[in-house]
Amino acid sequence: MPQTEWLQIQCQSPGGAHRMAVRSWGSPTAPQTVVCVHGLTRVSQDFEPLANRLSSRYWVLAPDVVGRGQSDQLTDPSHYHVGQYAMDMQAMAQQLGLAAVHWVGTSMGGLIAMVMAGQAAMGPGLRFRSLVLNDVGAVVSGPALDRIGAYLGSNPAFSSFEQARGLVEKIFAGFGPHTPEQWDFLAQSVLRTDASGQWRFHYDPRIAEPFRVAIAANGGRATDLNLWTLYDQIQAPTLLIRGEQSDLLTEAVAHEMTIRGPKAQLATIAGVGHAPSLLQTDQIDLVEAFISNQS
**120, pLDDT greater than 70:** no
What percentage of the chain carries pLDDT values higher than 90? 86
- Residue 98 within a domain: yes
Q: Which domain holds residue 58?
A: 4-140+226-293
pLDDT in tens, 54-92: 999 999 999 999 999 999 999 999 999 999 999 999 999
Q: Are 282 and 270 in contact (CB under 8 A)?
A: no
- Reported as type and span, the H/E element at residue 1 is none
First to last CA, the chain: 23
* Residue 123's pLDDT band (cuts 50, 70, 90): low
What does the pLDDT average to over 152-160?
Answer: 90
Distance CA 241, CA 254 (A): 9
Instruction: Enumerate the β-bridge partners of residue 230.
Output: none
Q: What is the pLDDT of residue 82?
A: 96
pLDDT in tens, 189-212: 999 999 999 999 999 999 999 988
- Residue 192 within a domain: no
- Residue 60 within a domain: yes
Distance CA 65, CA 85 (A): 7
- Residue 202 within a domain: no
Q: Are 94 and 29 in contact (CB under 8 A)?
A: no
Q: What is the pLDDT of residue 221?
A: 84
Distance CA 171, CA 253 (A): 24
**214, pLDDT greater than 90:** no
Q: What is the CATH number of the domain that holds 54?
A: 3.40.50.1820
**pTM exceeds 0.85:** yes
- Residue 156 within a domain: no
Q: What is the pLDDT of residue 52?
A: 98
Which 3 state secondary structure label does DSSP give 185? helix
Number of other CB atoms surrounding residue 134 within 10 Å: 29
Q: What is the pLDDT of residue 122?
A: 56
- Residue 242 within a domain: yes
Structural domains counted in the chain: 1
What does the pLDDT average to over 263-269?
Answer: 99
* Residue 281's pLDDT band (cuts 50, 70, 90): very high
* Residue 245's pLDDT band (cuts 50, 70, 90): very high
Q: Which of 269, 271, 273, 272 is nearest to 283 (CA)?
A: 269
Distance CA 153, CA 98 (A): 33
What does the pLDDT average to over 140-167?
Answer: 91
- Tabulate helix, strand, coil % of the chain (nearest 5): 40, 25, 35
Sequence letter at residue 72 = D
Q: What is the pLDDT of residue 35?
A: 99
